[in-house]
Amino acid sequence: MENYLLLAHLDCLENMSSFKNIYISQAATIISFVISALLLFISTYFLSVDDRGIFGLIYSLPALLITFTDFGIAPVLIRYSSMNKNLDKLLTSIFLLHLIRIIVTVLISVFIIFFFGEELFKVSNIYLFLGVPIILSLSVNSFLSPYFYGINKVIIYYFFIIIPNLILCVFSILLLIFDYYNLLNISIIAAMIYSIHFMIVTYFYSRSFNIRNFKFYKIFFKLLDEAKFLFASNIFNYGFMYLIPIVLNYNFGITTLSYILFSIALADKLLLVGDSVGYEIIRKLNVFKDDSTLNNKLKYFKSVVFYMIPIIIISSMLIYFVTKYFFLVYVFEKYLPILDFFYLIMISFAIQALIRIYQQYYNGLGDTKFTMNILVISSILKTLCLIFVTSKVTTLFLLFILIDFILLTFIISKTHFKKC
């Protein structure tokens, strides 16, 4: 009886700790949203429509390449590090793969830009080369930073995630004050910040373990085996996301692309709302004291979902109405054409935010194959729409909403109504 009460007490404390981490995550999400909104405001207001489109386009190639070398490490790394098993060998192996990944991705990116850049992207190679350092920042965010979340150092994790954009925001303001803000200068500053961010996170991560034999250990291959489905998921999902600017620029031109990127830059903050609890769900599901019963984990997950649904709805409405009745009226008049499709993008991203929460639940249970199936189906269907729907942007995003809604309905049915 005493042991049962002790376990119940420990579970209660862990649940409190879990929701504390959720609150921290959401506070970090709000901070990140404010910083991103300020960056978006500055770049949109002080750059021309075409230059704003170029600023979003120059990162599409490096981001696309880094996606194809992601390996789905982050969720699985959180799972393993939260269980505190063989961390030294695991972290050594991941660190080695991280360095190899950086070298290969940068070389491929430089090769593509040098030989095909201007023809493929219709942008000067100078800007494309300035986008390459984002590879460094994205790599540490997906490979190294999640370790700190797994060991419950949530504040450190979000500090490393937020700090690059915070510094970029400060420098953007300084450039405005001294009247030096333009596409070239802000691109140079961003390249420097991403490079420094890479060096700092890599340094702190390398201090977390002892490098004795710099090699790949057996546990690393076990992790890769578990992550293979997430790797496939990322290729399809993020590959599709970073393919959007390239295809839309080709089909609709740089001006329409700029309108869509502006809309997505606002709407994708909803994904941050969903992602704010994703890693905590994975960590929590793997530190349960009574981890023999799926019901306890599902009960915890339901409480998170019921907590998050109203937050996603309220956030969606807030972003939409503030954009429609304030930003587009008083600040961004030149972006008024986005009202034709902005509400559709908001609905699509709100559904995706909820889908992401469910995906992380299955990742936390180790069922990464199910996550892969959902993302592969979604990405293939949306890519087909992206390629063949070239007449109207509204038609394109209506189809995206339909695909997202059908997938969400299926996921909810599988999770909560298995017997039915």
Q: 330: pLDDT confidence band, cut at 50, 70 and 90?
A: low
Across the chain, mean pLDDT equals 80
CB 164 within 8 A of CB 201: no
Q: 319: pLDDT confidence band, cut at 50, 70 and 90?
A: confident
Distance CA 238, CA 52 (A): 21
Largest CA distance in the chain: 73
Q: Which amino acid is at 109?
A: S
Query: How far is residue 199 CA from its own chain's centroid?
Result: 21
Q: Is the pLDDT of residue 12 over 50?
A: no
31-83: pLDDT as tens digits? 887 898 888 788 878 888 788 778 877 777 777 777 667 666 777 777 777 77
Distance CA 156, CA 162 (A): 10
Give pLDDT, residue 7. Answer: 41
Lowest mean pLDDT among 65-79, 113-127, 154-168, 194-208: 65-79
Q: 133: pLDDT confidence band, cut at 50, 70 and 90?
A: confident
Lowest mean pLDDT among 51-55, 272-276, 389-393: 272-276
Query: What are the phi and psi torsion angles at 70 (to 5°)?
Result: -80, -35
Stretch 215-237: mean pLDDT, rounded?
73
Q: Is the pLDDT of residue 179 over 80?
A: yes
User: What percent of the chain clears pLDDT 90, i.e. is strictly above it?
Assistant: 13
Q: Is the pLDDT of residue 175 over 90?
A: yes
Stretch 343-359: mean pLDDT, rounded?
90
Per-residue CA distances from 403 to 104, 301, 394, 397, 400 (Å) = 35, 24, 14, 10, 5
pTM value > 0.75: no
Distance CA 377, CA 356 (A): 15
Give pLDDT, residue 96. Answer: 79
Q: Is the pLDDT of residue 142 over 50?
A: yes
Sole residue written with tokens 């599988």: 414
Q: 112: pLDDT confidence band, cut at 50, 70 and 90?
A: confident
193-220: pLDDT as tens digits? 999 998 888 888 877 766 666 666 677 7
Which pairs count as long-range contacts for 2-11, CB under 8 Å and 24+ apart, including other chains? 7/289, 7/290, 10/289, 11/288, 11/289, 11/290, 11/296
Q: 229: pLDDT confidence band, cut at 50, 70 and 90?
A: confident
Give pLDDT, residue 210. Answer: 67
Lowest mean pLDDT among 126-130, 197-201, 254-258, 313-317: 254-258
Q: What is the full DSSP assignment across 9-66?
A: HHHHHHHHHHHHHHHHHHHHHHHHHHHHHHHHHHHHHHS-HHHHHHHHHTTHHHHHHH
Distance CA 25, CA 153 (A): 11
Q: 17: pLDDT confidence band, cut at 50, 70 and 90?
A: low
Q: Is the pLDDT of residue 99 over 70?
A: yes
User: What percent of the chain clears pLDDT 70, i.e. is strictly above it?
Assistant: 87
Geometric angle at alpha carbon 228, from 205 and 411, rounded to 5° = 105
